Amino acid sequence: MWDLHEGDSVELDGPHGTFSLGKNDSERVFVAGGVGIAPLRSMIIQTLLDGKRTALFHSAQNLSGIAYIGEMKFLEMQNQSFKYFPAITREAPAEGWGGLNGRITAEEVKRKLGPLEGKSFYLCGPVEMVSGIAKGLLDAGVKKENIRKEEWG
C-alpha cells in the first residue's frame, strides 16, 4: 500500500461473513463486549430507523472502555423504543453510576426485558462472553436461528 501512487489500480475482496440484520425480526437485542460495539452501532441505528423495539447491553472492563456511551444515552432519550444498559465488569462503579455491574448474562437480559421469546439477538465480543450468553439464551428457550454472533479472541 505504501508504494501506491495516484491512479494505481488495486483489487479488493469482500466484504465477507454473515453477521447482518435479519429481515423478519420484530424486536432486536444487541449485546456487545468492549469494541464489539463497533459493528453493532450501525445495526442499532438501522433498527431504530426501521421503527423496531431495540435494546443494547454493552459491557467493558471500566467506564472509559464503553465506547459511544454518550451517543447511546442520547438515542435512548430520543427513542421510546430503545433501551440502553451499559455495564462495567472490573472497575468499582463511580458514585451515581446508573449502569450494570458485572458480566452480562442471559438472566440479566431477561430480568431487564422480560420474556425472551420473539426477540432476535445479536452478540459481538470476546469468545468467552459471546458463547456464554448464547448458551444462556439457548438454555432459556431462545431458538438457535434467533441468535446471531460475531466473536474473536
In a domain, residue 110? The reply is yes
In a domain, residue 10? The reply is no
Can you tell me the distance from the alpha carbon of 98 to that of 144, in angstroms, rounded to the nearest whole number?
Answer: 32
In a domain, residue 36? The reply is yes
The model's pTM is 0.89
What are the DSSP calls for 74-115, one per residue? HHHHH-TTEEEEEEESSSPPPTT--SEES---HHHHHHHH--
Domain of residue 60, residue span: 27-152
pLDDT surpassing 80 at residue 14: no
CATH, residue 58: 3.40.50.80
Q: What is the pLDDT of residues 85-109, one digit of tens each?
A: 999 999 887 888 889 999 999 999 9
Determine contact, residues 45/138, Cβ cutoff 8 Å: no
pLDDT confidence band for 134 (50 / 70 / 90): very high
The count of domains in the chain is: 1
Q: Which stretch of DSSP H or E encloses residue 4?
A: none
At 5 the pLDDT is 93
In a domain, residue 112? The reply is yes
At 145 the pLDDT is 95
In a domain, residue 56? The reply is yes
Determine contact, residues 124/44, Cβ cutoff 8 Å: no
In a domain, residue 115? The reply is yes
In a domain, residue 135? The reply is yes
pLDDT confidence band for 30 (50 / 70 / 90): very high
In a domain, residue 119? The reply is yes
